[in-house]
Structure 1
Amino acid sequence: MSSLAAGGAPSIFAQMFGSGLIGLREGLETGIVVMILIAYVVKSDRRDALKWIWAGVAAAVAMVVVVFLIIHLGTSTVSTLTAELIAGLASLVAVAIVTFMVLWMSKASAHISADLKDEMSNALITGGLSVLGLAFLAVGREGFETALLMVGYAESVSGGLWPLLGLLLGIVVAVVISVLLYRGAVRLNFHTFFLYTGIFLIFVAAGILAYGVRALQTVGWLPGSNTLAFDISEHYDQSSWYGTVLAGIFNFRPDPTVLQVVAWCLYVAIVLTFFLRANRPKRTTATPSKSPATETPAPTTPASERNPG
Structure 2
Amino acid sequence: EGIETTLLLWSMVQSFGDTPSALLGALLGLAAAVVLGGLLARGMVRLDLRVFFGWTGGFLVIVAAGVLAYAIHDLQEAGALPGPFSALAPLVGGTVAVGAAGFPFGWAFDLSTAIPPGSPLAAILQATVGFMPQMSWLQVIAWALYMAVVGTLFVRGLGRRPARASASAPLTSVPHHADLSHHQGAS
Q: Does the TM-score normalized on the shorter chain lie above 0.5?
A: yes
The structural deviation recorded for 1:270 is: 1.0
Q: Do the aligned residues in 2 keep the contact of 1:230 with 1:256 (CA within 8 Å)?
A: yes
Once the two structures are TM-superposed, the CA of residue 275 in structure 1 deviates from its matched residue by 1.0
Match of 2:61 among 172, 191, 202: 202
Match of 2:13 among 132, 135, 154: 154
Report the Cα distance in structure 1 between the residues aligned to 2:7 and 2:121, rounded to whole angstroms: 28
Selected match of 1:164 from 23, 41, 48 = 23
**Runs of 4+ that moved beyond 6 A:** none
Q: Secondary structure at the match of 2:134?
A: coil
Structure 1 position 219 matched with structure 2 position 78: yes
- Residue 169 of structure 2 corresponds to 294
Deviation at 1:249, TM superposition (A): 2.6
Which residue among 139, 143, 146 is the counterpart of 1:264? Answer: 143
CA 1:295/1:203 → structure 2, altered by over 3 Å: closer, same or farther?
farther
How does the TM-score come out when normalised to structure 1?
Answer: 0.42
Consecutive unaligned residues in structure 2, runs of 5 or more = 90-104, 172-187
Could you tell me which runs of 5 or more consecutive residues in structure 1 were left unpaired when the two chains were aligned: 1-25, 27-141, 297-309
Structure with bigger strand share is 2
Q: Partners in 2 of 1:148 and 1:235 — Cα distance?
A: 29
2:8 and 2:127 in contact (8 A); partners too: no
Higher relative contact order (CA 8 A, sep 6+): 1
**CA deviation string 1:278-302 (max 9, x = no partner):** 11143989xxxx8x34179xxxxxx
Identify the range of structure 1 (200-209 vs 233-242) with the bigger mean alpha-carbon deviation. Answer: 233-242
Which residue is equivalent to 1:278?
157
Question: Alpha carbons of 1:155 and 1:254: their partners in 2 closer, same or farther (altered >3 Å)?
Answer: closer
Where 2:34 maps in the other structure, the secondary structure is: helix
Bigger radius of gyration, 1 or 2? 2
TM-score normalised by structure 2 residue count: 0.65
Structure with more helix by fraction: 1
Equivalent residue, structure 2, for 1:186: 45
Work out whether residues 8 and 63 of structure 2, in 8 Å CA contact, stay in contact via their aligned partners in 1: no
